[in-house]
Chains A and B, each alone.
Chain A
């Protein structure tokens, strides 16, 4: 899956979960610090990505996720081949 495609999916999911604009999500250097992401919101984001790509993200890396780049990296490292549905 191309990195750019994954980034767009991540941006869309995070924007819905954090009630932010896609531009705010793209430019955020910290979802926690700037967009108010808490552990439940992160769990919802990870859940939505796992459903979208029919994959399972590495649990040990999940707690450090705080940017679009972080989520794209763990998504591609987890072997997500593309949207599963």
Chain B
């Protein structure tokens, strides 16, 4: 893929015999994966939930949602921070940091790189939208109601978006660049794409590419409720609330979670005998420069982002076997995204299955790109397409093959994952399965 970074590898002699060898050597590959989602903690549990088509949506449990029109959310249940970090951190870290650290630790364990060859060449690139916003709210309430003395002394350390990546670096001893991307709901897709740039440019040898958000607190929830973007019609049957591409969809379900990938150059991964699951083959990112909430109606920049990713992978749109869509279940997004995919995929559109993992895990904001890439990679590895739940009555404006209700067996060689975000941002990733990545 091409991200515009120059090839300036430090202390490395890069000699390629052919363009094919060069692509194989420099291709960025996934060697480890970890996740904490509303439908499963850890890749095996998440994979089983994807295969079974489990909804992670339930009544809001972490605060009193009775004042709001929407009273459902996709929370991570049963998460015990102490399973993944020392007790001090388990007691004090904001939830979003805990989710990220847990996913990062699982990813590193999965990659088998606990003893870094050169920890100064290991970076962290984390995407988050709200970051510690819920923690801000909690501490602000304590300040107002109980005074400064009852606020956490560590508040200054955890109050900024960068603290999530910092804690991952501290706990996993990553001493390269530790960076944060906050680009609304494209944050973690952008983090993964930019991580590839760091690897291609020779800036680092390993990147923990992360997405994390834990926005479930009254302030942001109330704000989304106020502008009418969350589902309100299914409070009595929460598991039906997230209905991407359905005619009776009425908004997204706010969720929380984290997913982390260990990324390396293909050559380095093969040299150390790593188990390579997939190649991150293409990345595209654009902005409509249009509006803080909505995409530009002409869709020109959304199409361009997806086309960048497809071109970067060196494929044609018709080569795609599967699309994991942004698919929020808002009336606006899903019809818009269908139209965008029709334009990109052309005559192939009807034959390429598309699904929305948000029907299961809700909308995890800045984490969605990473969690949905995890869903995509799991499906590719295990031979199935994650389904779109609750698609009982498709919207006539959403007329693609959306893999309704149940996972579908399939062999996927190349897949696309799309993300769109506030600020009229667009991002896309193309991934290729292991056999192609190897050669």
Interface residues of A (CB under 8 A from B): 16-17, 19, 40, 43-44, 46-48, 50-51, 56
Contact = CB atoms under 8 A, between A and B. Distances in A.
B88 A19 contact: yes
Contact of A40 (B86, B87, B149, B153): B153
A16 B88 contact: yes
B149 A44 contact: no
Interface of B is mostly: helix
A44 B152 CA distance: 7
A71 to B, nearest CB: 16
Contacts of A43: 153
Interface residues of B, number: 10
Contacts of A48: 91
B163 to A, nearest CB: 14
B91 A16 contact: yes
Interface in B43-91: 86-88, 91
Contacts of B91: 16, 48
Contacts of B152: 47
A70 B14 CA distance: 62
Given A17-B88, A43-B153, A47-B152, 7 more contacts: A16-B86, A40-B153, A40-B154, A44-B153, A47-B150, A47-B153, A48-B91
A17 B87 CA distance: 9
Given A44-B92, A44-B154, A19 B86 contact: yes
22 contacts: A16-B86, A16-B87, A16-B88, A16-B91, A17-B88, A19-B86, A19-B88, A40-B153, A40-B154, A43-B153, A44-B92, A44-B153, A44-B154, A46-B153, A47-B150, A47-B152, A47-B153, A48-B91, A50-B149, A50-B150, A51-B150, A56-B149
A44 B150 CA distance: 11
A19 B154 CA distance: 16
Interface string B123-166: 00000000000000000000000000110111000000000000
B343 to A, nearest CB: 54
Interface of B: 86-88, 91-92, 149-150, 152-154
B410 to A, nearest CB: 49
Contacts of A17: 88
A19 B171 CA distance: 14
A40 B152 CA distance: 11
B155 to A, nearest CB: 10
Contacts of A46: 153
Contacts of B154: 40, 44
A47 B88 CA distance: 13
A40 B87 CA distance: 17
A46 B154 CA distance: 12
Contacts of B153: 40, 43-44, 46-47
Nearest to A59: B149
Contacts of A51: 150
7 tightest Cβ-Cβ pairs between the two chains A and B: A43-B153, A16-B88, A16-B87, A44-B153, A47-B153, A17-B88, A56-B149
Contacts of B149: 50, 56
Contacts of B86: 16, 19
Contacts of B88: 16-17, 19
B151 to A, nearest CB: 8
A47 B91 CA distance: 12
A46 B92 CA distance: 14
A47 B148 CA distance: 11
A85 to B, nearest CB: 13
Nearest to B149: A56
A19 B152 CA distance: 18
Nearest to A51: B150
Contacts of A19: 86, 88
Contacts of A47: 150, 152-153
Nearest to A47: B153
A50 B153 CA distance: 12
Contacts of B87: 16
A52 to B, nearest CB: 11
B150 to A, nearest CB: 7
A43 B87 CA distance: 17
Nearest to B153: A43
A30 to B, nearest CB: 20
